Amino acid sequence: MVFAHVGTLRTVAGKRDDLVALLIRRSDALDHVGCLLYEVGVNDHEPDTVYVVELWTNADAHRASLVLPEVQASIARARPLLTGELGGFDFDVVGSPLRDV
């Protein structure tokens, strides 16, 4: 079942764009481990928050991605940019009005 992860990452003041740049670095590794969609965004009403929406082939693929060396390195680089305040939620996709199944 397709797995969705939605997240909000609170950054240290002024570091939002640094985190965005880090998160949108081109990554073939994510493709190969079942990442179907990974959108990074901002909302000017929340100047110190970065938003992510991810779709994965399943929850296991998402979990497996977190231990990839490339992802671990990215997390390490992101850590000083973050306050530690993380939000969001996960869910299993059950359908869409844009397709029949």
Binding mask 14-53 for a second copy (x = CB under 8 A): ------x--xxxxx--xx---x-xxxxxxx-------x-x
CB of 50 to a second copy, least distance (A): 9
- Give 55's contacts (C-beta < 8 A, 6+ positions apart): 2, 3, 4, 35, 36, 37, 38, 93
Q: Is residue 95 a contact residue for a second copy (CB under 8 A)?
A: yes
Burial letters 24-63, b for 16+ CB under 10 A, else e? eeebeebeebbbeebebeeeeeeebbbbbebbbeebebbe
Q: State the nearest-atom distance from the C-beta of 41 to a second copy, in Å.
A: 4
78 binds a second copy (CB under 8 A): no
Pull the structure tokens for residue 11.
């950054």
Rule CB under 8 A: is residue 76 a binding residue for a second copy? no
* Chain contacts with a second copy (rule: CB under 8 A): 2, 4, 6, 8, 20, 23-27, 30-31, 35, 37-43, 51, 53, 55, 89-100
